[in-house]
């Protein structure tokens, strides 16, 4: 029987039940991919982060209940929180090696952790898919763009908060959907919908800010911004645009510590 430490962390929150929960499992060596997927399915969180120590830091991977994914912000923040707070890590910066987006760093300053992620450019769609606006329950959008995910821009925060989309009906789009607008007390706000995943609306989505920060940085002519994801749980993000990189800052709170028993 193999025993693995298990952590559940509320990322992008300084309060329990805020932000976005992620499971985190430190490993001594990589297990088979099918076993990692089964573990993520058993945890039944939007993402489980697995990491293994290497010569320069840690190798990091993320699994949903469906597949391994190329980038996940909140689970990276959660993994860094575990390393800094519970694994006796003495430095103020962690270097993560990843399989799809290269090296990522997370730095600690007080209670805030800052992710250094790639910036993603989005392309405008002049004629967005009819299904996209239909499933969001809106007739028009200020702008629709696409990168890894769809980016739908609305006029104001109230419109984003009022959305009651048919997320299951979005599945034929074959992309996640991020909706954003200028914020009332923040530079911008957003929500993030995940058709086909176990979590229909992601509470706080770090990776989506890889495209949100460059978009709003250009629109607002700013490099430093404050953002909030206005889901039911909600979360605050400190954002900085540095050309082809973005910095995404957040806090994290441990919810659960336990053991996984693999027989």
Environment class of residue 107 by beta-carbon count within 10 Å: exposed (0-12), middle (13-18) or buried (19+)?
Answer: middle
Query: Using an 8 Å Cβ cutoff, are 26 and 87 in contact?
Result: yes
**Dihedral angle sign, alpha carbons of residues 204, 230, 18, 249:** positive
The residue annotated as part of the active site, out of 47, 91, 121, 143, is 47
Distances (CA, A) of 93 to 66, 84, 135, 176: 31, 9, 42, 31
**Dihedral angle sign, alpha carbons of residues 37, 42, 43, 47:** positive
Residue 202 makes CB contacts below 8 A (sequence gap 6+) with 20, 46, 176, 192, 193, 194, 208, 231
Q: Which residues does residue 5 pair with via DSSP β-bridges, in sequence order? A: 259
Element (H, E) at 151: strand 150-153
Task: Name residue, tokens 């929960």.
Answer: 21
The yes-or-no answer on residue 155 being catalytic is no
Q: Phi-psi category of 113—alpha, beta or left, where left has phi over 0 and alpha has psi -120 to 50?
A: beta
Measure the CA–CA gap between 30 and 235, rounded to whole angstroms. Answer: 32
Q: Which residues does residue 235 pair with via DSSP β-bridges, in sequence order? A: 229
Q: Catalytic amino acids?
A: 47
């Amino acid at each position: 029987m193999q025993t693995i430490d298990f952590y559940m962390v509320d990322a992008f929150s300084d309060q329990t039940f805020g932000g976005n929960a992620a499971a985190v499992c430190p490993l001594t060596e990589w297990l088979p991919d099918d076993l990692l997927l089964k573990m993520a399915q058993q945890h039944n969180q939007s993402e489980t982060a697995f990491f293994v120590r290497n010569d320069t830091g840690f190798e990091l991977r993320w699994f949903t209940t469906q597949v391994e994914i190329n980038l996940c912000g909140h689970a990276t923040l959660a993994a860094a929180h575990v390393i800094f707070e519970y694994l006796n890590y003495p430095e103020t910066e962690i270097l993560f090696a990843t399989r799809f987006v290269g090296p990522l760093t997370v730095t600690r300053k007080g209670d805030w952790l800052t992710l250094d992620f790639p910036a993603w450019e989005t392309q405008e769609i002049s004629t967005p898919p009819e299904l996209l606006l239909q499933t969001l329950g809106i007739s028009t959008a200020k702008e629709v763009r696409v990168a890894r995910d769809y980016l739908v821009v609305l006029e104001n925060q109230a419109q984003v908060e009022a959305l009651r989309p048919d997320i299951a009906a979005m599945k034929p789009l074959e992309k996640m959907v991020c909706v954003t607008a200028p914020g009332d007390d923040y530079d911008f706000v957003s929500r993030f919908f995940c058709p086909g995943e176990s979590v229909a609306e992601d509470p706080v989505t770090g990776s989506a800010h890889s495209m949100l920060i460059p978009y709003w940085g250009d629109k607002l002519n700013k490099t430093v911004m404050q953002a909030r994801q206005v889901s039911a749980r909600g979360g605050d993000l400190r954002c900085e645009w540095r050309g082809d990189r973005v910095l995404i800052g957040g806090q994290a709170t441990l919810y659960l510590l336990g053991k996984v028993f693999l027989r």
